[in-house]
Amino acid sequence: MANVSFSEDQFSSEDEKITDEDAIEGVTLLMSDEASIWWISVKEEVTTWANVLKILRTTFAPKRPAYK
């Protein structure tokens, strides 16, 4: 099972005053198992911290059920 151990509230590149490049580089440290392998395969496509959050949500966040 993939493991990504952070949330948007825990880590914001703006709050920490770090560049997107440094934040993106550090994402690897927050992942383990299949998530680390997955990140290696997609990290070249990601250019901003907003992209990181979007791709992580799309890939790992629980899917919301359809509204009834």
Query: pLDDT tens, 20-59?
Result: 888 888 888 888 888 899 999 999 999 999 999 999 888 8
Please report, for residues 18, 19, 27, 43, 58, the alpha-carbon distance to residue 35 in angstroms, rounded to integers and kept in the order given: 23, 23, 10, 12, 13
**Could you tell me the residue ranges of all domains in the chain?**
13-60
| pLDDT of 9 over the 70 cut | no
Query: pLDDT tens, 24-33?
Result: 888 888 888 8
Exposure letters 5-24 (e unless 16+ CB within 10 A, then b): eeeeeebebeeeebebeebb
Cα separation, 37 vs 59, in Å, equals: 13
List CB contacts of 11: < 8 A, sequence separation 6 or more: 23, 30
pTM of model > 0.85:
no
